[in-house]
Amino acid sequence: MHDSDREHEQSLLAAAALGSLDPTDLAAFEQVLASSPAARSEFEQLREVVALLPYAAPPVTPPDHVRTRLMERIAADQAAQAPPRQTRSSRRISTGWVTPLILVGLTLVITLLGSLTLSLQQQVIALNETNQQLLAAVNNLQAAVNASEERQSQMTAQLATYEQQLARLNDQVAQERLLVSFVSAPGVATRELLPTRADVTARGEMYMYPGETQAVVVFSGLPALEPDRVYRFWLSDGTQRIAAGSFQVDATGLATLMVTAPREVNAYTEVMLTVEPATGTAPGDVEVILTGTL
């Protein structure tokens, strides 16, 4: 690099550090910084030196007239920057327009709020009425369900009663058919059971087949007993007695007993009907009212 180029470069750096670089030299200055790291370092050093220059001069007290002119200039600048003051007449005119507008706005808001409040109240009333109607409908439905359940319970109980009656009728029909077939069959033998006392009006008739273990006994004229007493039918062979069934009678005094003996019925020599407690016996509690021989 020639000395003239070096001097030109230093002058560019110095002018840039002092802030007095001519705009026409700006491109040349930027080219110097871009192409030379040493120039960039020198430029930074020059900037630091320039920043210290104000502290190198001795302090000087300015004259009074300079201070006065400076304060006047500051006051003038502040007055120029302050917003224009609003006159009393303009404020009065503005207030005169704003107040009616505010009142009108408030009136509209109050009217709107009143309308909304009335609408909400009407909706609440309508909802309450609908709620009451729904509650009434639910109560009616619940009452109908309860009534239906009660009727169903009654019908179930009645059906159970009918089923029990039907079962008893079926048993009765079966017994009557068996009795008819048993009594009307050829070869059947008949034995009569007679009262043991003169005041007893009951009678009994026994139908059996020689060599068979089954027999049918038909009773009539038997008085109804207390709930804790029963009629009991016995088979005896002279050495022991065997209970062959127990029963009660209703007001008709009729009863039919199907007997199944441990061995052939004709192997026994005597039959009898007693009145005794339904559960357990004690001496004197058993009364023989009918007897018969086989």
DSSP β-bridge partners for residue 205: 192, 218
Q: Domain range holding 199?
A: 188-293
> Would you tell me how many other CB atoms lie within 10 Å of the CB of residue 241?
15
DSSP conformation class of 224: P
In a domain, 41, yes or no: yes
In a domain, 85, yes or no: no
Q: In the listed set 184, 218, 233, which residue is the last one of a domain according to the structure?
A: 184
Burial of 258 (0-12, 13-18, 19+ CB in 10 A): middle
Q: What is the separation of C-alpha 293 from the centre of its chain, rounded to a whole number of angstroms?
A: 76
Residue type, 152: Q
Q: Which two tokens stand for residue 240?
A: 């022991």
Helix (H) or strand (E) holding 226: none
pTM of this prediction exceeds 0.85: no
User: What's the length of the chain?
Assistant: 294
Distance CA 270, CA 74 (A): 155
Q: In the listed set 80, 114, 140, which residue is the last one of a domain according to the structure?
A: 80
Distance CA 62, CA 60 (A): 6
Residues 100 and 33 reside in one and the same domain = no
| pLDDT tens series, the chain, 294 aa | 567 778 888 888 888 888 888 888 888 888 888 998 988 898 898 888 888 777 766 666 767 777 787 788 888 877 777 665 555 444 444 445 555 656 566 676 677 777 778 888 888 998 888 889 998 999 998 899 999 888 898 999 989 989 888 988 887 787 777 778 777 778 899 999 999 999 999 999 999 988 899 999 999 999 999 999 999 999 999 899 999 999 999 999 999 999 999 999 999 999 999 999 988 766 668 899 999 998
Q: Which two tokens stand for residue 217?
A: 């006994």
Residues 166 and 233 reside in one and the same domain = no
What CATH number has the domain bearing residue 264? Answer: 2.60.40
The total of structural domains in the chain comes to 3
Q: In the listed set 40, 56, 80, which residue is the last one of a domain according to the structure?
A: 80
DSSP string across 232-286: EEEEE-SS-EEEEEEE---TT--EEEEEE-SS-GGG--EEEEEEEESS---TT--
In a domain, 272, yes or no: yes
